[in-house]
Amino acid sequence: MRRIATVAVTTGALAAGLLVSAGAANADQGFSQSAKLPTASGVQAAASHSWVSKNGWSTIKAYGTYNRTKSGVKVSFSLADTKRNGWSPAVQFRTSNGKYLYTSGVYYLKYRGVPADFKFSHYYGVFTSSYTKHLYVREAGVSVKNTKKIAYGPWKALY
């Protein structure tokens, strides 16, 4: 009787563990962010505006939405790649308060420790800034072989 109970408990625990690990694997698909983004604390809800940055590369793009308030701007964005070509899609933001500029780092997805270079469309995260006068975005490509080699597109004014 003890053996049957032990087998039943072990089987139940194993099944529960498999379900939890399968759910976690489907949730992030092995992606990790190239840089940590600041949290969106202090930015109030506002009307959402969508944007797409597709400046010359036919295989990569960045897209998303932004909300602008008096206290800041919040940009939610995704990255997409349509084919494997040695470049991973990336995006960079620039904000201004009229006098000073703030330029963000270059954000790109990593898959198993290297820049992602295969067909995908993946939500990346949120970029926030307290500079609200102007918002610019530019698409970039990060070389899979050398992450310091980055090809930039032109800046696109969102407002």
User: What percent of the chain stands above pLDDT 90?
Assistant: 55
Q: Are residues 21 and 45 in the same domain?
A: no
48 & 101 share domain: yes
80 shares a domain with 19: no
Q: 115 and 75 share a domain?
A: yes
Q: Is residue 135 a contact partner of residue 66, using CB atoms and an 8 Å limit?
A: yes
Same-domain check for residues 22 and 45: no
Total domain count for the chain? 2
pTM of the predicted protein model: 0.69
Per-residue tokens: 88:
């991973």
Residues in the chain, how many?
159
pLDDT digits (tens, 9 = 90+) for 17-59: 433 333 334 344 555 555 555 544 444 455 789 999 866 678 8
- Same-domain status, 41 and 20: no
Same domain, 78 and 23: no
Query: Is residue 108 packed enough to be buried (19+ CB in 10 Å), middle (13-18) or exposed (0-12)?
Result: buried
Q: b/e map of 15-25 (b: 16 or more CB within 10 Å)? A: eeeeeeeeeee
Residues 61 and 85 placed together within one structural domain of the fold = yes
Q: Indicate whether 60 and 87 sit together in one domain.
A: yes
Q: Is the pLDDT of residue 155 over 70?
A: yes
What pLDDT does residue 57 have? Answer: 77
Cα-based angle 19, 25, 27 (whole degrees, multiple of 5): 100
Residues 138 and 155 sit within 8 Å (Cβ to Cβ): yes
The answer to whether residues 126 and 143 belong to one domain is yes
Same domain, 75 and 8: no
Query: Are residues 64 and 26 part of one domain?
Result: no
Structural domain for 119, as ranges: 34-157
| Mean pLDDT value across the chain | 79
